[in-house]
Amino acid sequence: MDTCMRFRQLWKIIDEQYCFFEYKNIDWKAIGDKTAKKIKPQMDEQQLFAVLSEMPLYRDVSHYSSPAGSFEVPFYKRAQITCADLATAFEGRGPGAFADLDRLTVFADNLVPHVLRREGVLRYGAELLARIERGDLIDAGSAEEVEIRSAGVHAVERMCALLARRGTPCEARQLDSWLWHRGQSPRIKAAPRHRTRSVYY
């Protein structure tokens, strides 16, 4: 299977498993068609990534202000998922060959922190929790949204470190998969998670 067909396979995986494009008013088909025209069958890894990086849903960097100052918080959820999916689609070869998948963080969205909160790992302030339970929208890039996603990433990193110390090493992407499946249980689904209109998750 050449790179063009692999891209279509990747596009389909994202389309079917990771997004609610109509809800977010994103024409994913148009984005896929536009990107596909730039992909050639024999592209190398750098050329492929250069094309994929132009897709808007990969620029997942938030700006956060605190008393300590303002700074950027990079999450890159879809970029990281793309690497993981390329590794799977290409069976670890060619554009799917990565030597550092262990450096991926958890894929920060609204499900992982929700599962962690329901399991008692994270605690939200009373006002934020009330907004979530009412179904209020949490603005993309707001302090609350950045803090929720950041807390999820940090918690999973600490869990990985703890597991490693106990002799059971685990990568963040593996915990992400476990937490995602945990999030499908009726008990976890019974409570609302934060709602944000975002192209990044």
What pLDDT does 153 receive? 98
Prediction pTM value: 0.78
pLDDT at 31 exceeding the cut of 80: yes
Query: What value does the mean pLDDT take over residues 182-191?
Result: 96
**pLDDT tens column, 101-115:** 999 999 999 999 999
Q: Could you give the dihedral angle defined by the CA atoms of residues 74, 85, 119 and 160, in that order, rounded to the nearest 10 degrees? A: -70
What distance in Å separates the CA atoms of residue 45 and residue 36, rounded to the nearest whole number? 15
Query: What value does the mean pLDDT take over residues 87-110?
Result: 90
What are the DSSP calls for 18-72, one per residue? T--TTTTT--HHHHHHHHHTT--TT--HHHHHHHHTTSGGG--EEEEEETTEEEE
What pLDDT does 8 receive? 84
pLDDT at 41 exceeding the cut of 90: no
What pLDDT does 15 receive? 80
Looking at per-residue pLDDT, the higher value among 193 and 85 belongs to 193
Q: How confident is the model at residue 19 (pLDDT cuts 50, 70, 90)?
A: low
Query: What value does the mean pLDDT take over residues 123-150?
Result: 96
Q: How confident is the model at residue 62 (pLDDT cuts 50, 70, 90)?
A: very high
Catalytic residues: 109
Please state, in angstroms and as integers, the Cα–Cα distance from residue 129 to each residue in 126, 137, 176, following that order: 5, 12, 23
Q: How confident is the model at residue 27 (pLDDT cuts 50, 70, 90)?
A: confident
